[in-house]
Structure 1
């Protein structure tokens, strides 16, 4: 079982206030919440705000949508269990006789351990919304000239990090965009979106800044990979102070080099190995940052903030 992260005093106070205001609905499991109507309205408005920004920048990404589960084989091929075993979630299901089903139900009815009656399925929970994009694009063959930009939307992602911090959820929405093209094109796109996203968030009144970052790789080898990632500036995050003791990352910008294209055999129009990058806006964390900055009464937010958000949805 993953270690539970205790909330700091300010995190616990914010979570209590969010629940009392109806923005979050506890499920009884840390990091898994329902969302109230105002919370969800802000989340959807922000998503439309990002879409409008892409159009304003002259981008018309191809829209693809995927469910929040991946084939187990894909997780294995990606090496996810080597790099992030502490975050992965697998889907298990019952396969047995009527007698075994009754035995499982009896144990479950007493809240006992009924896991022995479950067997692994062919699915895992999706840890990153961009993951299904790469094999889907690879199936098409060689990329067109200039590559492709894909919008996989704002689907649910899962990471097993039970915590009392309302900014650290186990199930959350990531709005992603993915660029697959020649290396220079991909790097320019990633860096331009990093700067554009920072401006979008600052315009909403957030005290945001970006910094070089790394993924939470597992173990001693993972610490070496994280150091290399930082040294090469392959990952940037936009940070906002929400609660103590440290700032919260609300968006990330990742340059994968040829990791995914090499794995799936994605080639550029001239026959070279493509590079990939993705950006991700953490919906729930951004809504949380807005609520912390402007107050829990969304109707009382500054007019310029509400205009930017709701004008984006017409």
Structure 2
């Protein structure tokens, strides 16, 4: 067994024994909407969230904060949009052009506005039938794009400060993200929240960080009473060349995911990811270590909606009926349970 995942895999095997599966993409989604936990907007992968759902998100977010309290991370928060210039530099479009979301706006004159309204009138006149996008001919790209991952604004921000300190840097970031992949699977939302801890420094510093968070992520999901497994993974790189990149990512063991059955038992959902980027972002933004060498980076990403959906999937739609240990953890003395878990890992 790979030493990076040894402790987590053992914990996963114990948790896996307790799992039972009886839901599908459609039925879980339907049950959540019928219960008012998710609000159907008419677009696959775009949902409103109820107070109950948001309360669980808040409790989960608090637990993650306690889990990383000793990391002395700089807390940064960004809006769900980023500067197009930085997005272009990130090379995201090389790997995931199909997932990117750009922001367009009307920037014309009165004549252009008139053409827009004419086209819009034709569009809405069809009612609920399939509509054209003719009115969008009057829209032009802005200087913004939708943020694809919470960590993306971090790298240009850190780069502007100059070389890292001797012990590198750790950042805590939380943001709404967008990926264009409409699906009836409620775990595959187009707009979702991602909580991340990002580490910048030497290869050893960031690899130690990733190992630590594989163990801590496993601890969290165990405390949530959820079945899981950790597996080697790759990102969904685009096109024929994407398979080569994906195979290389797996061969170098750059990405691991914590998988929980959410909508279907045979396709568990990646709820946490543990990523080692090597010097990729350091090279793009010229982020230097204290010794002048390119910084390496790693991150742990918590899928907030996905983990919350997993809780509803395995513990039921009535949070008051969830197992006592899970309720005590989320709505009780979260701090002491996290502290005890971390002490057991040390």
When the two structures are superposed, what TM-score results if normalisation uses the length of structure 1?
A: 0.93
Counterpart in the other structure of 1:300? 321
What pairs up with 1:45-60 in 2 under 5 angstroms?
A: 45-55=59-69, 58-60=70-72
Residue pair 2:176, 2:191 contacting (<8 A) in 1 also: yes
Query: Residue 90 of structure 1: which of 102, 115, 118 is its match?
Result: 102
Displacement of 1:288: 0.5
User: Which segments of 5 or more consecutive residues in structure 1 lack a partner in the other structure?
Assistant: 1-8
Give aligned pairs, total: 303
Give the secondary structure class of the aligned counterpart of 1:40.
Answer: helix
Counterpart in the other structure of 2:87? 75
Give the secondary structure class of the aligned counterpart of 1:22.
Answer: coil
Name the larger-Rg structure: 2
Query: Residue 33 of structure 1: which of 47, 52, 68 is its match?
Result: 47
Please state if 1:152 is matched with 2:173. Answer: yes
Displacement of 1:239: 0.3
Shift in CA distance, 103/313, structure 1 to aligned 2, threshold 3 Å:
farther
Query: Residue 225 of structure 1: which of 241, 245, 249 is its match?
Result: 245
Q: Deviations over 1:78-104 (max 9, x none)?
A: 111111011000000001122321331
Displacement of 1:107: 2.4
Residue pair 2:186, 2:263 contacting (<8 A) in 1 also: no
Moved more, 278-287 or 262-271: 262-271
Displacement of 1:313: 8.4
Counterpart in the other structure of 2:156? 135
Give the secondary structure class of the aligned counterpart of 1:196.
Answer: helix
Q: Give the distance between the partners of 1:239 and 1:50, measured in 2 at CA.
A: 17
Residue pair 1:48, 1:313 contacting (<8 A) in 2 also: no
Counterpart in the other structure of 1:183? 203
Query: Residue 240 of structure 1: which of 257, 260, 284 is its match?
Result: 260
Counterpart in the other structure of 2:12? none
Displacement of 1:37: 0.6
Give the secondary structure class of the aligned counterpart of 2:240.
Answer: helix
Q: Give the distance between the partners of 1:141 and 1:284, measured in 2 at CA.
A: 35
Give the secondary structure class of the aligned counterpart of 1:188.
Answer: helix
When the two structures are superposed, what TM-score results if normalisation uses the length of structure 2?
A: 0.85
Counterpart in the other structure of 2:112? 100
Give the secondary structure class of the aligned counterpart of 1:168.
Answer: coil
Displacement of 1:301: 0.9
What pairs up with 1:186-265 in 2 under 5 angstroms?
A: 186-244=206-264, 245-265=266-286
Q: Give the distance between the partners of 2:120 and 2:42, measured in 1 at CA.
A: 17
Counterpart in the other structure of 1:274? 295
Give the secondary structure class of the aligned counterpart of 1:64.
Answer: strand
Counterpart in the other structure of 1:309? 330
Ranges of 4+ aligned residues in structure 1 off by more than 6 Å: none
